[in-house]
Structure 1
Amino acid sequence: MPLKIFTSLTDMAPHEPDLTRLRYQLHCNPELAFCENETSDLVADRLKEYGFQVHRNIAKTGLVGTLTVGDGTRTIGIRADLDALPISEANTFAHASRNPGKMHACGHDGHTAMLLGAAKHLAQTRRFNGTVNLIFQPAEERGFDSGAKQMVAEGLFERFPCDAVFALHNHPGKPAGTFMFRSGAFMAAGDRVNIHIVGQGGHAARPHLAHDPIVAASSIVMGLQTIISRNVEPTKAAVITVGKFAGGDAPNVIPGQVELRLSVRSFDPEVRALLKNRIIELVHAQAKSFEVEANIDYIEGYPVVSNTDVETRFAIEVARELVGTDAVNDNMEMLMGSEDFAYMLQAVPGCFLRLGNGPADQGRGLHSPNYDFNDQNLAVGAAFWSRLVERYLDSDRVTT
């Protein structure tokens, strides 16, 4: 019986120049959530050129490319995200954003390029037996009612059944080309809270005639800091961050209202519910004590990213084959960031993993105006996705 051949890093070397050009093209033309029209067109054209069946207009700008080889009944899904962020790019290199106020500051340009690289290679080599569904998803960055949620709600996995689904995200601060995995809970649930404190404005010299929302909001901010330390069990992780505090325009005027915006992160469903209840109770109680009114819009965002054990072990095995054991961390720490791939993992078994993006110094971390995807990863990611598909849809693979 001949030895089976699966994709190696050297197999992707000839594709690197094209992948880099493609990534630069995507980076130059960033588009925001549910507006990724040119990006979606580019992806669809590439997939059609490679021989995939392309299905569009899923969650507005999302699409799926399918390719079946042989008579195998197994199916696999791989997701890449398409959208950029509302950030003005500070980089001055030639492939910097041409769309003012928009930037690929999270590496979705790289994620898309890697998956298209795998698509081309898989279509050329056709060394698998079954069906691969390549899912190009809009609006990952939205934070709520996101692309993954809408694709699943629109029947993604009923239309394109997947026995397992996989996705990755680059990870600044870890060496490029290294893989990080964790079975079970990996990334936190993320909620948003918008709070409007409505008081009674007045002259700064006569505060007794006003109901000062600045003072009330300041007390609320300090009170919120006690929820984690005094209500959440110390062994359970949670975060409440006040990311916006806005009110007032002049030093001699007490404003009539203040806006607070919060980010709330957790892993445990009971902790998540506790945080919501305590935040609402505390804000209303503090507001009442200052004779102001609090209006709260509590937006439940992405669920916990929870990887299934079998699929995670399989992905770890493929990564070790590709880059060696020393370049694979099979038990990464839990991350407080959130990711809407969680919705897909609620519907289908699978694994979300991280791929090192190199140093994150000089403010080049995710969501930074100086960020850029590490092009060393393009061939690595494309090779990983190709090998994962080949191994998962290997006709001789024994499943348990």
Structure 2
Amino acid sequence: MTTPDFEPQLVRWRHHLHRHPETGFEEVQTADYVASVLKALGLEVHRGIGGTGLVANLTVGDGKGVIGLRADMDALAITETAEGRAHASQMPGRMHACGHDGHMAMVLGAAQLLRERRNFNGTVRFIFQPAEEHGRGAKAMMDDGLFERFPVDEIYGAHNMPGLPAGHFATRTGGIMASEDNFVIHVKGRGTHAARPHMGVDPLVIAAEIVLALQTIVSRSLDPSMPAVISCTEFITDGIRNAIPSNVIIKGDTRSYAPEVQALLEQRMREVSVGICSTHGAECAFEYTHEFAPTVNWDQCVPTALAAATAVAGADKVDGNVQPMMISEDFGAFLRVVPGAFVFIGNGDNGAPGSTPLHNARYDFNDSVLPVGARYFAELARIRLPH
């Protein structure tokens, strides 16, 4: 049983966090608030891990098992457009457009449930991670000795998912979310008057050719059974209406699941870009960086996630073989070091509350999902740390 105020408390926590969003490594007030809640629950709290990250510990009994429950804390640099929303962001140019406010509230709720019920034997570590959105926070926490100072046997995380019915769960064994690599291609030509194109080397035309040629890499250089995406998302020039530019910069990202695919994409993109530039007498500077590791669930941990989800939502609301998605999640960095599993929790679909897409200026976490997620995280502890 839970106290009558449990679900309203989850909403109050979530709405406070939504009103006060902070972006990656700037989550000072967020960490202060989360720490104050955890301390009020009587938990041991450790601050400043990887910058603004924190860990809270709850031990019951004499069990040696330890699991980690992770929530991400950062918001996005987006201006919220939600007229009439009482808990809308009070920070101009910042909003929780990805639901990390809800993720924090769910893990705080799990902490409250586990402290009250004490129906496990061992230690639960509540891990609040900064800077998930740009793939930096997990590494920062681990570089700061996260798992040496606070070792865990397993770690579990979740993300709300618009498009999935509210309160439904979905996961899979193996790769569930892709890696993300970023690229910058700088085409250096020779600018000239727009009426005298033969006097220059037009980097705009060359860059356009590169953008089109990059699309052939997945279709012609990669095994069709290996998923990958190459997306050019920015095209920047120093030209004006009547002047052909000297420089064009192409930016974008790639998504994939396997290190050998990442290596192939980088190699072929470099070869294509340099080759096309050379053909047209332009210079090429090519940069390729690895931002997110793929999120790959461990075989032995997925059954635990499925059992907890089934206990909370019912078997008819749990999909144990969801299609992998090409989105990326910093939780993948943790799974390269310790066993664990990640799940999606439905936020709403087909125009229902919670169905607005992630990273949309009108997005909002669905409050009806909060108790479902809190009970899910608490159930993981009960299952993995039996008393």
How far off is 1:249 after superposition? 5.0
Greater mean alpha carbon deviation, residues 10-19 or residues 55-64: 10-19
1:289 paired to 2:276: no
Q: Give the structure 2 partner of residue 222 of structure 1.
A: 212
Q: Show the counterpart of 1:142.
A: 134
Q: Distance in 2 between matches of 1:226 and 1:381?
A: 42
Q: Indicate whether 1:80 and 2:71 are aligned.
A: yes
Q: What is the aligned partner in structure 2 of residue 262 from structure 1? A: 252
- Percent identity between the aligned chains? 47
TM-score scaled by length of structure 2: 0.96
Q: Which moved more, 1:310-319 or 1:223-232?
A: 310-319
Aligned positions of 1:159-170 closer than 5 A? 159-170=149-160
2:369 maps to a residue whose letter is: N
| 1:244-282 per-position Cα deviation (integer Å, ceiling 9, x unaligned) | 112145321111211111110111221111001001111
* Structure 1: tracts of 5 or more residues without a match: 1-9, 396-400
Q: What is the CA deviation profile of residues 91-144 of structure 1, one whole-angstrom value per residue up to 9, with x for unaligned ones? A: 12121111111111100000001111111221122221110000000000014x
CA offsets 1:347-373 (integer angstroms, 9 cap, x no match): 111101100010265982011111111
Matches within 5 A, 1:17-28: 17-28=8-19
Q: Does 1:171 align with 2:158?
A: no
Q: Deviations over 1:366-388 (max 9, x none)?
A: 11111111111101001111111
1:250 is paired with a residue whose SS is coil
Match status 1:386 vs 2:381: no
Output the amino acid matched with 2:232.
V
- Counterpart code for 1:59: G
The DSSP-based 3-state class of the residue aligned with 1:300 is strand
- The offset of 1:154, in angstroms, is 1.8
**Distance (whole Å) between structure 2 residues aligned to residue 48 and residue 297 of structure 1:** 45
Q: Which amino acid aligns with 2:178?
A: A
Provide the secondary structure at the position in 1 that maps to 2:301: helix
Q: Deviations over 1:155-197 (max 9, x none)?
A: 2111111111000001110100000010111111110001222
Aligned length: 384
1:315 alignment partner in structure 2 = 305
TM-score with structure 1 setting the length:
0.93
Native 8 Å contact 1:86 1:102 kept in 2? yes
Q: Which residue of 1 is the match for residue 94 of structure 2?
A: 102
Which residue among 121, 133, 142 is the counterpart of 1:129? 121
**Does the residue aligned with 1:68 lie in a helix, a strand or coil?**
strand
Aligned with residue 371 of structure 1, among 328, 339, 363: 363
Alignment deviations for residues 51-106 of structure 1 (CA, whole Å, 9 cap, x no partner): 11111111100000011111110000010000011111111212111111111110
* Structure 2 residue corresponding to 1:234, chosen from 217, 224, 230: 224
Kept in 1: contact 2:44–2:58 (CA 8 A): yes
Among 30, 36, 46, the residue aligned to 2:21: 30
Alignment check: 8 A CA contact 1:13 1:379 kept: no
Would you say the 8 A contact 2:134–2:291 is kept in 1?
A: no
What secondary structure is seen at the aligned counterpart in 2 of 1:57? strand
Q: Distance in 2 between matches of 1:121 and 1:67?
A: 11
8 Å contact kept, 1:105–1:366:
yes
Contact (CA 8 Å) 1:12, 1:379: kept in 2 or not?
A: no
The corresponding residue for 2:35 is 44
Q: Do the aligned residues in 1 keep the contact of 2:51 with 2:140 (CA within 8 Å)? A: no
Q: Using the alignment, how far apart are the partners of 1:256 and 1:164 within structure 2? A: 53
Kept in 2: contact 1:165–1:348 (CA 8 A): yes
Counterpart-to-counterpart distance in 2, 1:180 and 1:211: 52
- Which residue of 309, 327, 332 maps to 1:342? 332
One-letter code of the match for 1:327? K
Matches of 1:232 and 1:30 in 2, distance apart? 41
Matches within 5 A, 1:320-331: 320-331=310-321
For 1:44, the aligned partner's letter is A
Give every structure 1 segment of 4 or more consecutive aligned residues whose post-TM-superposition deviation is greater than 6 Å: none
Q: Does structure 2 conserve the Cα–Cα contact (< 8 Å) formed by 1:199 and 1:292?
A: yes
User: Offset at 1:11?
Assistant: 3.4
Q: Which residue of 2 aligns with 1:7?
A: none
Q: Distance in 2 between matches of 1:340 and 1:314?
A: 21
Gaps of at least 5 residues in structure 2 are: none
2:284 maps to amino acid: A
Relative distance call for 1:75 and 1:325 in structure 2 (3 A) is same
Letter in 1 for 2:97: A
Q: List aligned pairs for 1:267-282, cutoff 5 A.
A: 267-282=257-272
Task: Determine helix, strand or coil for the equivalent of 1:167.
Answer: strand
Q: Distance in 2 between matches of 1:28 and 1:199?
A: 47
Q: Look up the SS of the partner of 2:94 in the other structure.
A: coil
Q: Which residue of 2 is the match for residue 209 of structure 1?
A: 199
What is the alpha-carbon distance in structure 1 between the residues aligned to residue 251 and residue 245 of structure 2? 18
